[in-house]
Amino acid sequence: MQEDSLAPLPVARCGRASFGQTSANPTTFPWNTLPSCDFQANTPGDLLSQGTRLRLGYDTFALHLLFVAQDTHPWATLTERDAPLYKEEVCEVFLDTEGDGLSYYEIEVNPNNAVLDGCMRRVRNGFRKDFRWRCAGLQTAARTFEGGWAAELSIPFDSVANQTPEPGTRWRANFTRIDRPAGLSRELSAWSPTGRAQFHIPERFGVLEFE
């Protein structure tokens, strides 16, 4: 798939709000008042049988994200920190807070609320993964419900940016999902589709703008 055949990079607006305790409950304030975006098939021409909606917000301390995934059979077996969650079902966050394409953070959460976090740094032949990095202060919660599952993340700014973004600040980011429906092929979906069977393409990260 040629790069110029893909849609322009999307822009997501991140609203400021007052957040309480992490709950992974999509009906809890303030989620339903915050901006949302829907995922698309990661490769043009592919069809998704189960959709994903993301809501975004922030406060003085952290970026807050809520993934709500349609899923007739949400599943995962992995429960340990930094296990290869991407081999099962998972929602993922990619953040390039400098916007220079030289490094970015990756954080994954599965339906068991297991976490994989790491930092990717550009080297001569691509990117080197460093899973020794920990997102200090990260809070997550996951739950399943009839017809799907939800994952909520609270990512402290101290861990990824050293300061609270001012209104108008822009980061490069992507938000993605790996779904493995029973009896069907793996489905890859993303807020900013990369056009390939992988997500680690920072050139295709969209723009996250803080309001």
CATH number at residue 170: 2.60.40.1190
Q: Give the whole-angstrom CA distance, residue 99 versus residue 46.
A: 29
User: What does the pLDDT average to over 145-165?
Assistant: 96
Give the ranges where 156-197 is alpha helix by DSSP (H): 157-160
Question: What pLDDT does residue 146 have?
Answer: 96
Count of domains forming the chain: 1
More confident residue, 184 or 165: 165
Domain that holds residue 40: 3-210
Which residues are CB-contacts of 134 (< 8 A; sequence separation ≥ 6)? 117
| Distance (Å) of CA 98 to CA 102, 122, 182, 195, 202 | 8, 13, 39, 24, 12
Token pair of 180 as six digits: 């493995």
Query: Taking Cα atoms as reference points, which of 63, 61, 10, 59 lies closest to residue 39?
Result: 10
pLDDT above 60 (res 4): no
Question: What pLDDT does residue 24 have?
Answer: 47
pLDDT per residue over 76-117, tens digit each? 999 999 999 999 999 999 999 999 999 999 999 999 999 999
pTM assigned to the model: 0.93
